Amino acid sequence: MRIVNGTEAVFHAGEREAHRRFGVEELAREMQGTIAPQLSAGQARFMDAQAFCFITVREPSGALWSQVLPRVETPQGTYPLLAFGDARTFHFLADTERDARLLAGAGGAAGLVFVDFARGARLRVNGDLDVVDDAVLPGFRSPLGHRLMQLRVAQAYANCPARIVRMALPKE
């Protein structure tokens, strides 16, 4: 089946230009239906199974900043990487010192990539990032030196696994 409508609603101008340069405009039109404005249960399970993800934010200067976002470990224990509010919202912890640039990007757009290196699977989630009060998660209290972040999902989609290096744990 060929999808014939445009891609303006899904892809920003830079993405459309890249599609044009690489000659994949028709493929992009076909793939736009796989980009959802919310998470499926399977996507949430995939995200929840990861020990870390990669996050990119646009700083107030306009520069992009990317980093690894790991699970938070404290003397009281390890926190899950994510807490899900609903299909369009999830939360994670940011260290006030280590993640200062990430915190500076709050109030803007962010993109997260979750990769399962053993299976060669990758999921991309784009949305709006904010620092929120702990009260959004009833009974939750951020560990000392951390702030609770919230991402409101705008796009969720699987990425092509072609460039993922498959990794396996070394045999003992």
Beta bridge partners of 151: 90, 129
CATH number of 41-160: 2.30.110.10
Q: Is the pLDDT of residue 135 over 80?
A: yes
Q: Is the pLDDT of residue 2 over 60?
A: no
The tens digit of pLDDT for each residue in 32-89 reads: 777 889 999 999 999 999 999 999 998 878 888 899 999 999 988 999 999 999 999 9
Both structure tokens of 147: 């702030």
The tens digit of pLDDT for each residue in 85-133 reads: 999 999 999 999 999 989 988 999 999 999 998 888 899 999 999 999 9
Q: HSE, CB side, 13 Å, CA atoms: give it for residue 166.
A: 6
Q: Domain limits of the chain?
A: 1-34, 41-160
Q: Which residues fall within 8 angstroms of residue 47, CB to CB, at 6 or more apart?
A: 39, 53, 81, 82, 90, 114, 123, 125
Both structure tokens of 25: 């405009």
If one counts every other C-beta atom within 10 angstroms of the C-beta of residue 61, the result is 8
